[in-house]
Amino acid sequence: MLYDFKTFEAKITGAKEWLAKEYRGLRTGRASPAVLDGVSVSAYGSMTLLKQVAAIGVEDARTLRIQPYDAGILKDIERAVSAADLGLGSSSDGAVLRVTFPELSAERREQLVKVAKGKLEEARTTVRLARDEAWKDIQEKERAGEITEDDKFNHKEEMQKKVDKANEELEKAFEAKEKEMIS
């Protein structure tokens, strides 16, 4: 009997997507609208994501341009970006807000690499937990007589190949981000 790895694969895919999202939010000295993804603005009586109340675009290598859909909330956007404490500078001309990314020091780059490595380890931990969960399930199926002992070890081998592939992909994502932060 074949083992259904769908849940296991979904968890691995989730770990990869989570890591990619986290890496998009790490500031590298280059302007990236993803840095502002978590910023919420107090507008229209509730907290709203910045990207829902303004157009965010890259103006140049180190500047983002935030154009609110309603000019009346520009000050609210400015306060929200400042309160997010992202280490970014901002200036307003009354119609748009420009967010500037300061040049990163060598020390800050090293710190960012450490943060990225920590995120990599969190993703790897998720993969390990998914592997352990699937292995426990495979063992239970073998004890219940649903699969043979040979099948159990074949499934373990197949699962380990999937884990190795996932870890390799996570490592590649880290290496790409590290290269981006150092250059």
Residue range 153-175: average pLDDT?
94
Would you state the pLDDT for residue 1?
60
The two tokens of residue 89 are 């500078």
> At 5, is the pLDDT very low, low, confident or very high (cuts 50, 70, 90)?
confident
Most confident stretch, 8-17, 49-58, 81-90:
8-17
Tell me what pLDDT residue 170 has.
Answer: 95
Q: Is the pLDDT of residue 79 over 90?
A: no
112-123 pLDDT, tens digit per residue, is: 888 889 999 999
What local confidence, expressed as pLDDT, does residue 29 receive?
Answer: 64
Give the pairing type, strands 97-100 and 89-92.
antiparallel
- Distance CA(32)–CA(63), nearest Å, equals 9
Does residue 104 register a pLDDT over 80? no
From 17, 33, 16, 15, select the one nearest 25 (Cα to Cα).
33
Mean pLDDT of the chain, nearest integer: 86
Output the six-digit token pair for 14. Answer: 């989730």
Q: Which domains does the chain have, with CATH numbers?
A: 6-24+105-182 (1.10.132.20), 30-100 (3.30.1360.40)
Angle CA 15–21–27, to nearest 5: 135
Is the predicted pLDDT of residue 31 greater than 80, yes or no? Answer: no
Q: Give the pLDDT score at 139.
A: 92
What's the pLDDT at 90?
Answer: 82
9, 163 Cβ separation under 8 angstroms:
no
Which band of pLDDT confidence, cut at 50, 70 and 90, is reported for residue 100?
confident
At residue 28, the pLDDT reads 66
pLDDT-based confidence at 40, cuts 50/70/90?
confident
- Residue 135, pLDDT above cutoff 80: yes
**Residue 76 parent element (H or E):** helix 74-83
pTM: 0.69
pLDDT, residue 171, reads 95
CA distance 116 to 28: 11
